[in-house]
Amino acid sequence: MRAPLLAGLAFAAALTAADVALAQEPATPPADPKAERRPLRAAVPDRTKRLDGLFEALKRSPDAQIAKVIEARIEAALLVSGSDTADLLMVRARAAVEAKDNALALELLDALIEFEPNFAEARARRATLLYLKKDVSGALADIRVTLAREPRHFGALTGLGVILQDIGDDKRALDALRRAIDVHPHLPGIGDIIKRLEVKVEGRDI
């Protein structure tokens, strides 16, 4: 798997130090999560306002180091679903990824998405695992849901661009990666891919 994919799709799978700490917390999910099912809060004003501010700061970040700090805060905000049960399943899924048990992680994310179908971050992380299994159609389906819920999800946009490039749709791949870099100007490696695609799609080297 190439490095740019790790810069984009792996945003959904890689764990920050804070993620690891959370994943190590002892917790046991309820025997029947559906019994406690409740809809995700469609709009949590404080969270929405915080994300708006973080994405704006990311777009204006002067260098990659500052962008990385803001990126981690965005990841943390996106991990909050509004459901305690969903959040607990996500902790378990992240722990499984950290342990390199992708099969268990996928099983947990399947259960999580059945419980909360519109949890964008769960979809983004499952898309990564599905892509690693070469289930391109499944990964694309999850990315579509992720972007419908959060159009600024630069990891999903980058993953979309990489997948589209892999299947030969360079024009739409270029569009997706331009959208990703517009949200996160310091995404590593993506600028080079965009330049190569511009030559192929538009016949010009910028």
3-state class of 101 per DSSP?
Answer: coil
Residues 18-50: tens digit of each pLDDT: 333 333 333 333 334 443 444 444 445 577 889
Residues 70-99: tens digit of each pLDDT: 999 999 999 988 899 999 999 999 999 999
Domain spans in the chain, listed from the N-terminal domain onward: 3-26+45-202
**Other beta carbons within 10 Å of 192:** 10
- DSSP label at 118? T
CATH class of 3-26+45-202: mainly alpha
Of 196, 198, 204, 200, nearest to 2 (Cα)?
A: 196
> How many angstroms separate the CA atoms of 113 and 37, rounded?
12
Percentage of the chain beyond pLDDT 90 is 71
